[in-house]
Amino acid sequence: MTSPRKALVEVRDLKMHFPISGGLLRRQVGAVKAVDGVSFDIFEGETLGIVGESGCGKSTCGRAVLRLYDITEGSIKIDGTEIGTMGQGQLRRMRPKMQMVFQDPQACLNPRMTVAGIIAEPLDEHGKLSGKAKLDRVYELMDAVGLNRNFANRYPHAFSGGQRQRIGIARALALNPRFIVCDEPIAALDVSIQAQVVNLLEKLQDEFGLTYMFISHDLSMVKHIADRVAVMYLGKVVELAERDELYERPLHPYTEALMSAVPEPDPAIEAKVERIILRGDVPSPSNPPKGCNFSTRCPKVMDICRKLDPEYREARPGHFVACHLHDAGIMDNQTNAGSAGAPPRNEHKQQGEDA
Amino acid sequence: MPDGALPVLDVKNLKTVFHTRSGDIHAVNSVSFDLRPGELLGVVGESGSGKSVTMMSLIGLLPSPPAEVREGQVMLGDQDLLKIGEERLRAIRGRDVGFVFQDPMTSLNPVFTVGFQIMEPLRRHMGMDKKRARKRAVELLELVGIPDAERRLKDFPHQFSGGMRQRVMIAIALACDPKVLIADEPTTALDVTIQAQIIELVKDLREKLGMAIIWITHDLGVIAGIADRVMVMYGGQVAEHGPVREVFANPAHPYTRALLKTVPKLREPRAEKLRVIEGQPPMLGAHPAACPFRARCAHAFDRCARENPARRLIGKGHDVACHWDHRTGEPT
């Protein structure tokens, strides 16, 4: 879908490498390429879901987009302002626009501050509200996230996980942000509480016109909340598309495998599901394989995948994928070269191929 | 699943209480179930539902104090595990009953090689000498799909990835050919593609070895894929129990019904809004005499606060602990 919508967040070739130092002089001997060249837009008012397994760089990507790190390379524009190279002083003035909700509501709340104190902290840092106006604002926020006003003077330990996550959300909302990065906001919550928090996030999005980057490993939940979804593997976005397009017609073999691996809470469906079981584990991001990052586990791997890193390109309108199978130029070459490459799909196995 | 076969494990009326300064916590409240040979029983529940504590109580793994297994009977074959005493229990743990825990990194000892840890139960329980134990350890690692098993015996746990570590844990649990394998959230710490590998492995091992398995999880999807029977726990007791297809197709307990609706499904059309279970999980054992779900239940009425519902049979092997009849929509 080509859309006239305005991109609120524009990320281009974002790289976040963490140095590994070693040896006697603690020189840098390598780098963990946690995020290695990702590009995407997030449109105003939409939710971009980022899915992937642990270590794929999705959380690092979210933190880097908010400039919680000094990024290695690339450009990040929020509402047209380049923040990729911005200094901390200027960045601080941008902070009210962009906020974050963290995974662990236990760890991200100061246990020695009251709920009112926690929610008011950003107001103290960035605003000049009087005591009364501030308290009113805190109450307003507590109402918005469904917390009882009478609990304003309690401490985080007195709340359950779901309620704590509400406190974290209220704090993120305090400064009327436009963009919120939600980093696995429901992963630490019980199943029966997850829906409460997701519905709250959706309600707040409608009310305040928020734009979300929703990072999660739960593909079913991302299918529910996201408008568009990016799939990450080993520091790269391998596929990005509109939600329905991605879930109904995944192009990348990794996306296919990831989706087939999700267990479905329905024995009748489970009995029929054909699983693509990937062999092996994710390689280390400090030493990614040559060529395509997924080539070591890909069930449809071809010779070229082990040599050449596939280009991230638009295979269908609005549907981006980084895979040689969906690169017409490469695939034509493969067919012309006859049996030089392995068969791309099982249905046309070519002769002269070793298994 | 042979219906008439004698159960390998028969638990009756198990009650576990934690004594704390702020009063007793009834973590397990009259839980009964059985496990038949070769069967996989799924136990579902949220944190605090008592699913892990139940299994720990069975084989005396809870520290006492504060825990006290107050009542009940746990028959493994013809012995009551609650009566036989610590010494004989120790001989049963790891031999007749194997365990796999959630986090393989904390349940493996980081300072011993994996080989040593697999050989330990073999030498202790089976009286094998070093050479035979070593041979068996290699077989076990091959059985759980660890490549290059011979060489990897010398490796330490940190040299394995998460999925491989869980395979090692399974190998250790299987070492002495247990009659019962208790797996407590064995795939929760793993990524979905690795989880799929481990589930395939367990399915495969069940066919090969035919042991009975108790699989504890909060993930309804995992249960739907592997279990024969399912037991849904809430607030320290069994809410509903029955054959897996029956319970998922015709859930009777308001909690099971709500839980199945609140989870989004990947392979079905997206719902506009997620169904919600209102309220918060219960404080354990505040009122063991009332239904623990009543505060969140859409069908609760006065009797639910007065009387903790007993389990009643509603179909073949399908029972529910609720005062509300899901078929008539009326109190029973």
Q: Where are the domains of chain B?
A: 9-96+176-265+275-331, 104-175
- Contact by Cβ (8 Å): B76, B42: no
For residue B4, give how far its alpha carbon lies from the nearest alpha carbon of chain A (Å).
24
Instruction: Round to whole Å and give the CA distance between B215 and B237.
Output: 17
Output the pLDDT for position B286.
60
Is residue A285 in a domain? Answer: yes
Query: pLDDT 10s per residue in chain B (332 long)?
Result: 445 678 999 999 999 988 888 888 888 888 999 999 989 999 998 888 888 889 989 888 888 888 888 889 999 988 999 888 888 888 888 889 988 888 777 888 999 999 999 998 898 888 889 999 999 999 889 888 888 888 889 999 988 888 888 889 888 988 888 889 999 988 887 888 888 888 988 888 888 888 899 999 999 999 999 999 999 999 889 999 999 999 999 999 999 999 999 988 888 888 888 888 888 777 665 667 889 899 899 899 999 988 999 999 999 999 999 999 988 888 88
Closest by Cα among B193, B137, B194 to B165: B194
* Local confidence band at A82 (pLDDT 50, 70, 90 cut-offs): very high
Strand order, beta sheet including B229-234: B97-100, B180-184, B212-217, B40-44, B229-234, B237-243, B318-320, B312-315
- Count structural domains, chain A: 1
* Stretch A46-73: mean pLDDT: 92
Domain B9-96+176-265+275-331 in CATH 3.40.630.30? The answer is no
Say which DSSP state A280 is in. Answer: S
**Model confidence band, residue A342 (pLDDT cutoffs 50, 70, 90):** very low
Q: What is the mean pLDDT of chain A?
A: 88
Q: Is A127 helix (H, G, I), strand (E, B) or coil?
A: coil
> Other C-beta atoms within 10 Å of B203: how many?
13
Q: Is residue A158 within 8 angstroms of chain B, CB to CB?
A: no
| Whole-angstrom distance, CA of residue B13 vs CA of residue B15 | 6
- Quote ipTM for the complex: 0.83
Asked if residue A351 is part of any domain, the answer here is no
Q: In whole angstroms, give the CA distance from residue A105 to residue A101.
A: 9
Question: Domain residues for A263?
Answer: 7-340
- Residues B292, B204: contact at Cβ < 8 Å? no
- Taken as a whole, chain B contains a residue count of 332
Is A349 part of a structural domain of the chain? no
Residue-averaged pLDDT of chain B: 88
CB contact under 8 A, A194 and B47: no
All residues of chain B having their beta carbon less than 8 Å from the beta carbon of residue A206 are none
Kindly report, residue by residue over A265-322, the tens digit of the pLDDT. 999 898 888 889 888 788 888 888 999 999 999 999 999 999 999 999 999 999 999 9
Contact between chains at B265 and A194 (C-beta distance less than 8 A): no
Residue B168 Cα distances to A115, B115, B143, B150, angstroms: 44, 9, 10, 13
Query: Looking at residue A47, which CATH number applies to its domain?
Result: 3.40.50.300
Whether A196 sits inside 8 A of B259 (CB atoms) is no
Around Cβ B166, how many Cβ atoms within 10 Å?
30
Per-residue pLDDT at A354 exceeds 90: no
> What mean pLDDT comes out for the span A261-268?
91
Contact A20, A32 (CB under 8 A): yes
In-domain check, residue A352:
no
Cβ–Cβ below 8 Å for B224 and A264: yes
In contact, A153 and B182? CB cutoff 8 Å: no
E strand map for A113-247: 179-183, 211-216, 228-233, 236-242
Contact predicate B156/B134, CB 8 Å: no
